Structure 1
Amino acid sequence: MSQKLHDHALQSQKQVIDRLTMIHKRQRIGHAYIFDGSNGAGKEAVAQYFTKLLLCMDPKENVPCETCNSCKRIESGNHPNVVLIRPDGQDIKKDQMSELIMKMTKKGYEEGRKVYVIVNAERMNSSAANTLLKFLEEPEGNVTAILLTNSYPSILPTIQSRCQRISLQSMNRQSSIESLVEKGVTASMASTVTMMTANVEAAYEMAQEDSFVQRRRLVLKLVEAIEQRTPGEALLFIQTDWMPFMKEKSDCEQGLDLLLFAYRDIVAVKAGLQSTISYPDQLEVFTGHSVKNTYSSLTVKIDAVLQAKKRLHQNMNRTLLLEQLVLTMQEGLLFV
């Protein structure tokens, strides 16, 4: 995250920052927290701020000084008492949790509190989650856990119950769209990117990326291919157009998100809720699709995309995954 995005995230989460400040002031620091919020809400920036506050050598009125050795090392990612865990490939694995616990319980680190931050905590596999759970149940020493997630319900209930939940505020989407339009982004593109991230600066950067513009265009073409109900054409589109441009897993995941938003738009249009859609430039086209589809068929299609998003992180061949998705959406039957 750039410094500009980092600062914007902290400014947009003032209420959360105030709450963390009060926790520090009263010295009621818990052993585990879950920071949950949408993509772009600033979870990592807030987690870094809280970590600095917990370890700062000279906090001023319960605000990290930003200049001490501890704050500077946290900023650079080199503090020995701070461990950051991210998904290794598709998920967070048991070995990562075991290594983390070893680091948190091993002597030889600096005196004082130890902090570990787990990014995308909802992507812990079952073994990793259970390993972490045991450590949360019986924490050793002065240790604080910070779990970051954009899907709180996906965290094990037993882990939820052992953590304090701090929900980051969602940005006002209409205000974000208006801000982007003032910056020169078209209203249609602004409506799309504000569904991808709650951070206005990140949304603006996304709107400037040629790759995202192309990805958006491909998704709309895929919707047309699916709705034409000609399996051969849709499958050919996946092979010749989609996959060459969606080489990375992250690209494919973003494409599936855009596809999901498109079908949610069709449902919204069918229900007369046009003001909430992600693709206002497709209103006329989506109106036609909404007439041809029943609510039940649209539900099946949305469920199919959600299933594909889950399978994307299970080492499934991506071309096969997308081909099955297209067939499922056209046939109206979920693969099991």
Structure 2
Amino acid sequence: MEQMVNDIKQRQKAVIERLEATYRNNRLGHAYLFDGETGTGKEAAATHFAKLLLCEQPVNAVPCETCHNCRRVESRTHPNITMIEPDGQDIKKEQMSSLIMRMTKKGYEPGRKIYIISRAERMNIAAANTLLKFLEEPEGEVTAILLTSSYQSILPTIQSRCQRITFLPPRREEMIATLVDGGITASMAATVTMMTADVEQARLLAGNDQFAHMRKTVLKLIEASDRNVNEALLFIQSEWIPAMKEKEDMERGLDLLLYAYRDIVSMKAGLQSEMTFPDQQQIFRGLSMKMTYSRLSANMEAVLQAKKKLYGNMNRTLLMEQLVLKLQEGLMLV
């Protein structure tokens, strides 16, 4: 517990100082939007802030970590805290309605009531509108903490009613150097640091055989799409779907595909940015000469749209087949 606290204070010093100053100056807002990449410490910061708001004996706007309330916040057993996470594909209206009922009924312990919504960008429209009404008219001492890695996906009306707290990622070059020093190849280090901003999570991912297979599968799809549409469609059935068994796997695969096209765009433009797949420079250079900027842009948009459809009710095989057909259109001579 102490290590986690010290880690988040070191990694997100400005964020923690801002939250503690808000408490110290008695200027607490009723809603916060923690915005940052995966692995930047949003969850740990939310826990730290919740402890501070409920701590029995804080010292200089720092939770004591040892009182009954701090211990219950740490173990996620405090009755005044409600955690909301996606129920399957998204966060549903029923979850928001249940949350509001919990927040407005009596019977809580004295003190502030807190609700934390993880992956808030996954709220469907009905859920977001239900929450919006509660954000506009909060009852009593209630604090909302919304966590997101996709600020632009949050309804503007919700954005405007929350204080945005931005979590900055560490320098990617430093993360890559740390991983390489630990024995991870430079190419894998470059890939995993695009997936998470947490060095330890990146190290675990780099050593995960399933992720290594997923990375190969994404690169093979790009090559298959380059050669022949029928080959690419067959590849979806024979290799992609078996490798991406869960929706979370598919989402990660689509992220990798998006980063691959970003690499191709960077090579076409002659940019010196750090690549996600530095071991694919020769192949990507060839693709960058084949594809126009407009088609590359269209392909990236197609991948983004596929990610949105993924958490709808669309069949995953059909989704990928449609995506492959759109990507195939991009393979034209400039």
TM-score with structure 2 setting the length: 0.96
Say if 2:5 and 2:48, in contact at 8 Å, map to a contact too: no
SS of structure 2 residue aligned to 1:33 = strand
> After superposition, where does 1:31-42 map in structure 2 within 5 Å?
31-42=30-41
SS of structure 2 residue aligned to 1:276 = coil
Residue from 238, 241, 244 that aligns with 2:242: 244
Say if 1:9 and 1:199, in contact at 8 Å, map to a contact too: no
Q: Report the counterpart of residue 311 of structure 1 in structure 2.
A: 309
Give the residue type in structure 2 aligned to 1:263: Y
> After superposition, where does 1:1-336 map in structure 2 within 5 Å?
8-228=7-227, 230-332=228-330
CA distance in 1 between counterparts of 2:200 and 2:8 reads 9
TM-score with structure 1 setting the length: 0.96
Change (3 A) 1:220 1:6: farther
CA distance in 2 between counterparts of 1:212 and 1:274 reads 26
Query: Residue by residue, what CA displacement relative to the aligned partner does 1:126-176 show, whole Å, maximum 9, x if unpaired?
Result: 110010010011100100000111111111111111111110112111111
Say if 2:34 and 2:42, in contact at 8 Å, map to a contact too: yes
CA distance in 2 between counterparts of 1:293 and 1:7 reads 48
CA distance in 1 between counterparts of 2:4 and 2:191 reads 19
Say if 1:5 and 1:201, in contact at 8 Å, map to a contact too: no
Q: CA RMSD for the aligned pairs?
A: 1.5
Give the residue type in structure 2 aligned to 1:295: Y
Say if 1:6 and 1:42, in contact at 8 Å, map to a contact too: no
CA offset at residue 4 of structure 1?
A: 6.3
CA offset at residue 220 of structure 1?
A: 0.5
CA offset at residue 256 of structure 1?
A: 0.3
Say if 2:258 and 2:300, in contact at 8 Å, map to a contact too: yes
CA offset at residue 7 of structure 1?
A: 5.2
Say if 2:33 and 2:164, in contact at 8 Å, map to a contact too: yes
Give the residue type in structure 1 aligned to 2:241: M
CA offset at residue 289 of structure 1?
A: 0.7
Say if 2:291 and 2:330, in contact at 8 Å, map to a contact too: no
CA distance in 2 between counterparts of 1:276 and 1:269 reads 11
Q: State the percentage of identical aligned residues.
A: 63
Give the residue type in structure 1 aligned to 2:248: S
SS of structure 1 residue aligned to 2:20 = helix
SS of structure 1 residue aligned to 2:144 = strand
CA distance in 2 between counterparts of 1:244 and 1:238 reads 9
Unaligned runs of 5+ in 2: none
SS of structure 1 residue aligned to 2:111 = coil
Say if 2:93 and 2:130, in contact at 8 Å, map to a contact too: yes
Unaligned runs of 5+ in 1: none
After TM superposition, the runs of 4+ consecutive aligned structure 1 residues lying more than 6 A away are 2-6
Give the residue type in structure 1 aligned to 2:163: Q
